[in-house]
């Protein structure tokens, strides 16, 4: 579902800042080339020492230690080459310029290393805070829930301190075992806030709402209230404020599973070595697009869920994962070829297959819940 809306996303400040940073990194090398052009031309009488000395200093601001060393080596090479070409060795300006380049280069490299070290410490602190927050919001599902065994897996894509926008939970209630898996548009604080709101509404409503449709309506209403609050989300989040979600319910004493699908990828049922996609007969839009719901009242759709069956709920980060050949991850095929005696081992094998397929570089967040029907 996320890929369906991807083309409508407007370029933001991140793209503009990336272009500006790339241009800024070119400035030191452009200055070195300018010095070469002047020194090898009839205008070589122009004193270019200060310009060349500034090259490593500028590199220290926009590059890491390696880039600063490269700029320093280039500046020194240009200084030596142009002095030799112009037969200027033995003059005081040449020696002064070389000494200045060496001193500024050394100081620039040390400064660049200090900046990189400080950024690494700050980023590590933010990562730890983000991971702790995510573990509080996304707690692991219990290993046993009534008539099913369960396991969960959550992987955040990318680097840095980005917290994923995937959500999941599984709760045993008087109405049966109830689970939710969802995917919030975007990343960062807006996604974390939406995940917390949706899960909070779900964890409250599952215990007193008998109809799973009403549970999902509570989640949608909570997200609408949060989105309507002034300052709750930025303008981009308001424009793209939708969340795909899937709720599954295993009623007590019934060999079935009831599903409410709000624009989410259909769950996969593994029965006797064959995978079946539980595609909804009446597709519903994601949270945030309730105006598109028309027709008769929404009802949960029921599917057989027999002892020995395995049910996988997942986010689109799994099926949209690509390899170097730009091929999608064949989730259904991998499930049919995976054999494990427990949900934890099954998800662990899926995890390894996913990392192998993407060479360890996930482009999107991943969340999965696996259920084994026991009785």
3-class SS letters over the chain: CHHHHHCCCCCCHHHHHHHHHHHHHHHHHHHHHHHHHHHCCCCCCCCCHHHHHHHHHHHHHHCCHHHHHHHHHHHHHHHHHHHHHCCCCCCHHHHHHHHHHHHHHHHHHHHHHHHHHHHHHHHHHHHHHHHHHHHHHCCCCCCEECCEEEEEEEECCCCCCCCCCEEEEEEEECCEEEEEEEEECCCHHHHHHHHHHHHHHHHHHCCCCCCHHHHHHHHHHHHHHHHHCCCCCCHHHHHCCCEEEEEEEECCCCCEEEEEEECCCCCEEEECCEEEECCCCCCECCECCHHHCCCCCCCCEEEECCCCCEEEEECHHHHCCECCCCCECCHHHHHHCCCCCCHHHHHHHHHHHHHHHHCCCCCCCEEEEEEEECC
Q: Which tens digit of pLDDT belongs to each residue from 325-367?
A: 899 999 999 999 999 999 999 999 999 999 999 988 888 888 9
- pLDDT exceeds cutoff 70 at 192: yes
Hey, what domains does the chain have and what are their CATH numbers?
Answer: 13-130 (no CATH), 141-373 (3.60.40.10)
Structure tokens at 309: 């069956």
Between the alpha carbon of residue 306 and those of residues 110, 234, 341, 347, the distances in Å are 65, 45, 17, 20
Q: Which tens digit of pLDDT belongs to each residue from 68-85?
A: 888 888 878 877 777 777
- pLDDT exceeds cutoff 60 at 318: yes
Hunting for tokens 């999965």 — which residue is that? Answer: 368
Higher pLDDT, 234 or 116: 116
pLDDT of residue 231: 56
pLDDT of residue 43: 65
- pLDDT exceeds cutoff 90 at 87: no
Nearest to 321 by CA among 187, 155, 181, 179: 155
293 vs 300: CA distance, rounded Å: 15
Q: Mean pLDDT throughout 171-182? A: 95
pLDDT of residue 375: 80
Q: How confident is the model at residue 9 (pLDDT cuts 50, 70, 90)?
A: very low
pLDDT of residue 240: 54
3 vs 245: CA distance, rounded Å: 15
Mean predicted lDDT score pLDDT of the chain: 82
Q: Mean pLDDT throughout 160-165? A: 54
Between the alpha carbon of residue 27 and those of residues 17, 24, 115, 149, the distances in Å are 16, 5, 19, 59
- pLDDT exceeds cutoff 90 at 101: no
**202-211, 231-240, 249-258, 281-290, range with the lowest pLDDT:** 231-240
Q: Mean pLDDT throughout 292-297? A: 80
pLDDT of residue 15: 54
Nearest to 165 by CA among 147, 186, 179: 186
Q: How many CB atoms lie within 10 A of CB 229?
A: 9
- pLDDT exceeds cutoff 70 at 233: no
Q: How confident is the model at residue 13 (pLDDT cuts 50, 70, 90)?
A: very low
Q: Mean pLDDT throughout 90-97? A: 72
pLDDT of residue 328: 94
76-83 contacts: CB < 8 A, separation 24 or more?
A: 76/101, 76/102, 76/105, 78/32, 78/35, 78/36, 78/39, 78/52, 79/49, 79/52, 81/36, 82/35, 82/36, 82/39, 82/40, 82/44, 82/48
Residue 256, strand partner residues: 304
Q: Which tens digit of pLDDT belongs to each residue from 236-260?
A: 544 455 789 999 999 998 999 999 9
């Amino acid at each position: 579902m996320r890929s369906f809306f991807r083309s409508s996303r407007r370029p933001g400040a991140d793209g503009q800042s990336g272009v500006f940073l790339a241009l800024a990194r070119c400035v030191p090398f452009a200055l070195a080339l300018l010095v070469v052009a002047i020194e090898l031309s009839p205008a070589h009488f122009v004193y270019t020492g200060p310009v060349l000395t500034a090259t490593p200093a500028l590199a220290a601001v926009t590059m890491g230690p390696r880039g600063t060393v490269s700029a320093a080596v280039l500046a020194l090479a240009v200084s030596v080459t142009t002095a030799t070409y112009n037969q200027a060795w033995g003059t005081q300006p040449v020696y002064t310029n070389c000494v200045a380049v060496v001193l500024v280069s050394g100081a620039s490299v040390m400064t660049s290393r200090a900046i990189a070290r400080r950024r690494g410490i700050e980023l590590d602190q933010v990562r730890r805070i983000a991971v702790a927050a995510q573990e509080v919001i996304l707690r692991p599902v219990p290993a046993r829930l009534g008539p099913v065994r369960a396991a969960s897996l959550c992987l955040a894509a990318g680097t840095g301190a980005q917290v994923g926008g995937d959500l999941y939970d599984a709760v045993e209630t008087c109405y049966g075992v109830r689970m939710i898996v969802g995917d919030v548009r975007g990343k960062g604080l807006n996604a974390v806030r939406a995940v917390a709101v949706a899960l909070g509404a779900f964890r409250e409503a599952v215990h007193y709402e008998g109809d799973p449709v009403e549970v999902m309506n509570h989640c949608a209403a909570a997200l609408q209230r949060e989105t309507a609050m002034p300052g709750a989300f930025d303008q981009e989040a308001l424009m793209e404020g939708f969340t795909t979600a899937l709720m599954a319910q295993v009623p007590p004493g019934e060999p079935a599973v009831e599903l409410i699908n709000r624009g989410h990828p259909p769950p996969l049922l593994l029965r006797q070595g064959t995978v079946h996609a539980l595609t909804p007969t009446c597709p519903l839009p994601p949270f945030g697009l309730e105006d598109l719901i028309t027709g008769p009242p929404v009802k949960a759709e029921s599917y057989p869920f027999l002892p020995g069956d395995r049910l996988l709920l997942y986010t689109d980060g799994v099926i949209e994962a690509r390899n170097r050949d730009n091929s999608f991850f064949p989730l259904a095929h991998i499930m049919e070829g995976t054999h494990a005696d427990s949900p934890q081992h099954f998800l662990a094998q899926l995890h390894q297959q996913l990392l192998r397929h993407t060479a360890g570089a996930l482009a999107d967040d991943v969340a999965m819940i696996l259920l084994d029907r026991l009785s």
